[in-house]
Structure 1
Amino acid sequence: MTDAAAQGAHRARYRRIVSFAAREFIAIWWFELVLPRFGLTRIAERTRGPRMQRFARRFHTLAVDLGGLMIKVGQFMSSRLDVLPPEITKELEGLQDEVPPVPFPDIRRVAESELGAPLASVFASFDETPVAAASLGQAHRARLSDQDAADTGLRDVVVKVQRPGIDEIVAVDLAALRRVSRWAMRVRFVSDRVDAPALVEEFAATSFEEIDYLHEAGSAERFRENFADDPRIDAPEIVWERSTRRVLTLSDVTAIKINDTDALRAAGIDPSAVADAFAEVMFDQVFTHSFVHADPHPGNIFVTPDASLPAGFRLTFIDFGMMAEVPANLRAGLRTLLIAVTARDSHGLVAAAQEIGVLLPSADTGELERALTALFARFGGMGFAELAKVDPREFADFANEFGDMVRSLPLQLPENMLLLIRAVSLTSGMCSSLDPDFNVWDAAEPYAGRLLREESSGLMRDMADQAMETAAITYRLPKRIDAIISRVDAGTVTFDTSRLERRLDRLEGIARRIGSGVLFAAMLVGGALLVPSLEPLGITLICVSGLPLLHAVFAGVGRRSR
């Protein structure tokens, strides 16, 4: 494609994204602003659910057609439960990289340009059929040359290659999204709940990290180091000599997909045990290592049979382009949140949400606490299988009421929470698919208990330190008291009271001036009252009142100058 043709395609892509958003904003403006002004609010409310579903379907079609960041936007939107209605998030939650693969000649051209040599001279073999195709790149199996195999100790590898022109596509998509975000801030419902431009910039930062394969390689190395002493967890090794910003070569660790229950059972692996191990590993990533794989969908996690391990298998993670850092303050808030949830403590849950920053301090939490108490009382402790047996109408009514109440609160997502929510939702869905009886409460309670014990031990350490400090002070106190008494007996204790005396003198002067002021007012008022009946006495009192006035005004001037 020539430069002119590419620029034309980018302009057309930009216009398509912007025009789609413009049409949707006009529909929102008409139904949510215009109709209510003419007393037709019921029409807007009655049609809101179907309209949101139609919007989600149209966006799904747009995303699959355009690829690029639009797929990521759909996944991004599906996790914004705090901002978007469930009609949208539900429709988009299953959106994956539903895009056709790039023709191999184009992939070859990118790879050879990055590696600086023909593929035939770099690899012993290179499979032209992709293992997986995504919106930003695709992966191919290959075998290292004899020299590279001897240097790295690896032979079979997977090579990820970015789609041609993906940098320009990402730039075009972000430009369109920035414009749409400015439009969104003119819609009061959006502007009251979310800073759309800031959200786009957060999304942009994540996207730039995803298209930098060297960044992904660094994240993979860090993940491997975090779990280096845990035989249950594995990650691919990086072949740095054959990796660049747009090409990533790593060891081939493909095994049984985590959601392939038939293959797991055929290998003698219990899917429910995989669900438990997977949930525990995700907890470890959040609370122990503060570095979380934020895209744990089935294509990114393999189960490798290993008879040497007690569980009989290990979990292998791949694709570290989307990772979530968990700062210390956020981790502390999440610990409190987990403990509150497992204890069914609605007040503690609200406090944890405020500590994390999800729930603003201005929020009226009374109704939320009552709703959470009702939620725990009715559904607390239920697994997915038990929830499935609940009357759908009861569950729907409760969900709608609770969801409307939560969406009415001033919520926000602090930095990094978006990726964590995505990781949690994918983990929950994965575990329930592996084990229909999977109970998230059972998975969380042992971990919450461990966190409580850690916090208790930390509290005991703090109390012990405080006790030692108090004991040291108590030990030194008799000696210090004895030294002071000895100085008193010897007559060597002196006190500097000069400043105290000056302050007392100043207070005494102020009191006298206040008294003079009161006397002036009394004489002036009394004289004015006596003038009509006893004119000489009244005039005398008025004249004499000037003396206490002069004292009140000028007394202490000399002292203040000293």
Structure 2
Amino acid sequence: MDIKAIAHLGRFREIMTTLVKYGFDDIVYRLDVPGKKYLQKIHFHDTHLNTWERMRMVLEELGPTFIKCGQILSQRADLLPVELLQELRKLQDDVPSESFSEIKKVVEDSFKVPLDTIYSEFEETPIAAASLAQVHKARLKSNGMEVAVKVQRPEISDTIKNDMDILEKIAVRLDGRIESFKVYNLPQLVQRIRKLMLQELNFVREMRTMQVVRSTVKNETGIIVPEVFSEYCNHLVITMELARGSKMKDVDFTALKNRATLAKRGLSLSLRQVLEHGFFHADPHPGNFLIDEEENLILLDWGMVGRLTDKVRFELIDLVSAVVENDVEIITDILIGFTIGREKVNRDVLQNEVLEVISLFTRMPLKEVNLGQLLLELTGILRSHGRVLTTDLSIMIKALITAEGTARSLYPDLDVIKEAEPMVRRLSKSRFSAGNMIKMIQRNIRHLFRFQHEFPRQALGIVSKLDKGELAIRFQHENLEGMQATMERIINRLVVGIVTGALFLGSSMVILADTGPRLWGYPTLGVIGYIIGLFLSLRLVMAMIKSRKK
């Protein structure tokens, strides 16, 4: 569907109006949508705000979908400038809670039974409220246990889907039209954000994630993931053990007895999730950790997680090892393999820039090395070369930076490299263990057999098509929408010009014939033709002047 087909929608107009209101009229005009005259009447007067502040305010004004988009983009340190990231991290789910009657309806409709058949108590006032869901304290009727019930806001799924549909059309329209946007691959970026948001709305998925993570930490000392009660969960509701503790951001760290132990536990857990399990909490900020009276860490909010393949995990281990060993060539190779982009990389230039960054960090004492910041600077270099990380890798880096920052806020003297080194060595050895090597050989043999089975058939198919003259090469054109719009404008003006010329010529012939009714002493048809021709000429000249001003 073309963007002009949705330009009449009220929500689309609201988005366009908000962009113009905060000074982003250039982007709106590049979309080439109807209603420009109305939008030109809107002026933004608050000039003391910088570009990044205005971008944050646009997202805040447009509501939950756009706030969530901003929060997801705040994890893309590989993609966005530091100034914008700082503004996006200020975005808060500052929304009023839904009425109890609406929440009760969601619960009852999803379970198909009255609320009091499941819960003997259900507090009407939520203990937490965010843009996608809110949490209520309750008590299970079956066993009397106190629980926390997370309930999705009514209609929020439809709201997000509709907003993302509009954003996808805008992204396709802008992609390639603005030179500075090319590196972002806007359509792909919006599709990925849409996928992440819909995953977070899938409460069954979050329930299963909590079950998996709980099983991986069950033998860990001091780490707790609340138990979920699957029989009281569905796609809109999660019923879980009520976690009792204080949010880490509200805790007075000086009052803790085991700050160093807590910091090491949290960091070790994050590193294991990334490097060993390939399955990690995407946003381990202090608001998602509780500390209870026994100083256990309680992990909350598993709606958004990242996943890494075994291949990527092994390459990450190689990357950390290469950083410690100052092997710039391997670091460069791995970084290029981690990225995607439309531009070819000048490997020699990139390697020299990587060398500069690595040299600065290797001169520092190991305990002062900030691993997350190092990865962030390396990805910044990649962005300057037109390359960006895949989404899961960028989220992983943001997760490591956040986990490292959280751990160091607990215990400033934490030596991250010292804590990570034993794990990296162990995982490096296990990678080349006899069992893993046998699995690798078996996998390669399976690929080889599949290749020898499929290759003759595929080769025969190509030869057969060539023999029949059916072999064709297909070219796919990308980012030609801007050129297509320009060609349409040129053709339209050309047609108007031809019609105008024909009107002047025809009118002149009528006047020379000097027949028929008269107006102002001349044949009426000739005068009307001149007037219409003059009007079209003026319209054409004005359109050309406006396009030059842009």
TM-score normalised by L of structure 1: 0.65
Cα 1:448–1:404 change in 2 (3 A) is closer
SS in 2 for 1:140: strand
Q: What 5-or-longer segments of structure 1 have no aligned partner?
A: 1-9, 32-49, 307-312, 389-394, 466-562
What's 1:488 paired with?
A: none
Match of 1:273 among 242, 258, 261: 261
Cα 1:414–1:231 change in 2 (3 A) is same
In the alignment, structure 1 residue 258 sits paired with structure 2 residue 248: yes
Contact 2:306 2:395 in 1 (8 A): yes
Q: Deviations over 1:475-502 (max 9, x none)?
A: xxxxxxxxxxxxxxxxxxxxxxxxxxxx
SS in 1 for 2:183: coil
What's 1:327 paired with?
A: 309
In the alignment, structure 1 residue 302 sits paired with structure 2 residue 290: yes
SS in 1 for 2:313: helix
Supply the AA of the counterpart residue of 2:274. V
Supply the AA of the counterpart residue of 1:297. H
Match of 1:288 among 253, 267, 276: 276
Cα 1:296–1:404 change in 2 (3 A) is closer
Q: Deviations over 1:446-483 (max 9, x none)?
A: 33333333346569978xx9xxxxxxxxxxxxxxxxxx
What's 1:348 paired with?
A: 330
What's 1:236 paired with?
A: 226
How many residues matched?
Answer: 414
Cα 1:21–1:384 change in 2 (3 A) is farther
Cα 1:403–1:335 change in 2 (3 A) is closer
Contact 1:261 1:434 in 2 (8 A): no
Q: Which moved more, 1:435-444 or 1:419-428?
A: 435-444
Please state how far the C-alpha of 1:415 moved relative to its aligned partner. 4.7
Match of 2:419 among 432, 443, 446: 443
Contact 1:82 1:411 in 2 (8 A): no
Cα 1:141–1:380 change in 2 (3 A) is farther
SS in 2 for 1:254: coil
SS in 1 for 2:298: strand
| Separation in 2, partners of 1:400, 1:295 | 16
Please state how far the C-alpha of 1:366 moved relative to its aligned partner. 2.7
Contact 1:236 1:253 in 2 (8 A): yes
What's 1:373 paired with?
A: 355
| Separation in 2, partners of 1:75, 1:450 | 35
Contact 2:282 2:304 in 1 (8 A): yes
Match of 2:408 among 404, 429, 432: 432
Supply the AA of the counterpart residue of 1:440. V
Cα 1:52–1:188 change in 2 (3 A) is farther
What's 2:158 paired with?
A: 168
Cα 1:29–1:404 change in 2 (3 A) is farther
Cα 1:366–1:220 change in 2 (3 A) is same
Please state how far the C-alpha of 1:82 moved relative to its aligned partner. 3.0
Please state how far the C-alpha of 1:300 moved relative to its aligned partner. 1.9
Percent identity of paired positions between Structure 1 and Structure 2? 28
What's 1:410 paired with?
A: 386
Match of 2:193 among 203, 207, 218: 203
- Structure number, greater radius of gyration: 1
Cα 1:63–1:132 change in 2 (3 A) is farther
Match of 2:66 among 67, 70, 87: 70
SS in 2 for 1:161: strand
Superposition CA RMSD, Å: 3.7
Please state how far the C-alpha of 1:213 moved relative to its aligned partner. 0.9
Q: Deviations over 1:413-456 (max 9, x none)?
A: 22522432332232133223223334433333333333333346
Supply the AA of the counterpart residue of 2:99. P
Cα 1:345–1:132 change in 2 (3 A) is farther
Alignment of 1:405-554 (within 5 A): 405-455=381-431, 457=433
Q: Deviations over 1:183-205 (max 9, x none)?
A: 33033435531321122111111
Q: What 5-or-longer segments of structure 2 have no aligned partner?
A: 1-7, 31-45, 442-550
| Separation in 2, partners of 1:183, 1:100 | 34
Cα 1:335–1:399 change in 2 (3 A) is closer
What's 1:193 paired with?
A: 183
Q: Deviations over 1:22-80 (max 9, x none)?
A: 6765446999xxxxxxxxxxxxxxxxxx9997333233233334432212211122222
Match of 1:103 among 81, 95, 99: 99
In the alignment, structure 1 residue 17 sits paired with structure 2 residue 15: yes
TM-score normalised by L of structure 2: 0.66
SS in 1 for 2:356: helix
Please state how far the C-alpha of 1:21 moved relative to its aligned partner. 4.6
Please state how far the C-alpha of 1:245 moved relative to its aligned partner. 1.1
Please state how far the C-alpha of 1:134 moved relative to its aligned partner. 0.8
Supply the AA of the counterpart residue of 1:76. I
Q: Deviations over 1:273-298 (max 9, x none)?
A: 32221111011111221211112222
Supply the AA of the counterpart residue of 1:116. K
Supply the AA of the counterpart residue of 1:276. K
Q: Deviations over 1:233-259 (max 9, x none)?
A: 321222222222111111112323233
SS in 2 for 1:349: helix
Contact 1:69 1:170 in 2 (8 A): yes
Q: Deviations over 1:1-32 (max 9, x none)?
A: xxxxxxxxx9544432244456765446999x
Supply the AA of the counterpart residue of 2:326. R
Supply the AA of the counterpart residue of 1:293. H
Contact 2:78 2:379 in 1 (8 A): no
Contact 1:342 1:444 in 2 (8 A): no
Please state how far the C-alpha of 1:399 moved relative to its aligned partner. 13
Contact 2:56 2:88 in 1 (8 A): yes
Contact 1:216 1:320 in 2 (8 A): yes
Supply the AA of the counterpart residue of 1:251. E
SS in 2 for 1:416: helix
| Separation in 1, partners of 2:62, 2:17 | 14
Supply the AA of the counterpart residue of 1:218. R
Contact 1:333 1:356 in 2 (8 A): no
Match of 2:75 among 79, 94, 98: 79
In the alignment, structure 1 residue 135 sits paired with structure 2 residue 111: no
Contact 2:367 2:418 in 1 (8 A): no
Cα 1:437–1:229 change in 2 (3 A) is closer
In the alignment, structure 1 residue 316 sits paired with structure 2 residue 298: yes
Cα 1:241–1:381 change in 2 (3 A) is farther
